[in-house]
């Protein structure tokens, strides 16, 4: 009887320990960062290269229209930006590193859009979801202003996050679903050439 009681107690402790461990794992949700950098296909492809980033989702945010469609957003009348929501493990890559990387993937001097895409949906912005994120983004911007290798003013805004609306499924991972069309679009839009002319290199190419 004593052996059975001892075994039952041991099993009970193991079950409780396992449950506590599972609970702690489930609470360790990935962090998220939301940015707008022009065409979300390109921003998604750039950030999915970064070690520690587990997922990048294309979507819309910053405007007033609920559950917007791509057609609605592209008119420029919804106030929404094309954005991406980046999920990452902050034990592998920090928000600061991702924020600094972001600048090197865009043209932060363009107030009208990005590269060949113009209008509100294609403007650049960083959307903070907490006071801590705001501080990180502002510090990153201050550092870029102090070290940028060009004279033009940085116009990228740091804004409070609003509701994120996931874009249509055909936009998700577009660069992997349609690699030739994506490559043609990116090249013809002049994204990498403009980034290189500003920063001296293209940040995302370091992963190729």
Q: Are 155 and 110 in contact (CB under 8 A)?
A: yes
Distance separating alpha carbons of residues 157 and 137, to the nearest angstrom: 10
- Count, residues in the chain: 208
Distance separating alpha carbons of residues 168 and 70, to the nearest angstrom: 7
152-183 pLDDT, tens digit each:
999 999 999 999 999 999 999 999 999 999 99
Q: Which residues are catalytic?
A: 39
Q: Are 128 and 160 in contact (CB under 8 A)?
A: yes
Residue 7 lies in a domain: no
Residue 17 lies in a domain: no
Residue 14's pLDDT is 39
56-98 pLDDT, tens digit each:
999 999 999 999 999 999 999 999 999 999 999 999 999 999 9
Residue 23 lies in a domain: no
The count of structural domains within the chain is 1
Q: CATH number of the domain that 96 lies in?
A: 3.30.1060.10
For the chain, what percentages of helix, strand and coil (3-state, to nearest 5) are there?
Answer: 50, 20, 35
Residue 82's pLDDT is 98
Residue 2 lies in a domain: no
Task: Tell me how crowded residue 99 is: count the other CB atoms within 10 A of its CB.
Answer: 22
Q: What is the mean pLDDT of residues 30-43?
A: 97
At residue 52 the predicted structure's pLDDT band, cuts being 50, 70 and 90, is very high
User: Global pTM?
Assistant: 0.85
Q: Are 102 and 14 in contact (CB under 8 A)?
A: no
Three-class SS of residue 97?
Answer: helix
Query: Which of 143, 114, 91, 150 minimizes the C-alpha distance to 35?
Result: 114
Q: Which domain holds residue 159?
A: 29-207
């Amino acid at each position: 009887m004593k052996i059975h009681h001892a075994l039952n107690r041991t099993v009970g402790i193991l079950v409780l320990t396992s449950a506590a461990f599972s609970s702690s794992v489930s609470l360790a949700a990935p962090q998220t960062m939301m940015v707008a950098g022009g065409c979300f296909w390109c921003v998604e492809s750039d950030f999915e290269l970064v070690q520690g980033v587990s997922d990048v989702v294309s979507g819309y945010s910053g405007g007033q229209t609920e559950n917007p469609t791509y057609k609605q957003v592209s008119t420029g009348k919804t106030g929404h930006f094309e954005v991406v929501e980046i999920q990452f493990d902050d034990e592998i890559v920090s928000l600061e590193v991702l924020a600094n990387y972001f600048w090197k993937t865009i043209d932060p001097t363009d107030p009208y859009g990005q590269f060949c895409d113009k209008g509100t949906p294609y403007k650049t912005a960083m959307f903070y979801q907490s006071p801590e994120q705001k501080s990180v983004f502002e510090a990153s911007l201050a550092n870029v202003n102090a070290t940028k290798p060009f004279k033009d003013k940085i116009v990228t805004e740091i804004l409070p996050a609003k509701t994120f609306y996931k874009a249509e499924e055909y936009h998700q991972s577009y660069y992997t679903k349609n690699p030739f069309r994506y490559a043609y679009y990116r090249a013809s839009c002049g994204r990498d050439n403009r980034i290189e002319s500003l920063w001296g290199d293209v940040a995302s190419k370091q992963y190729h």
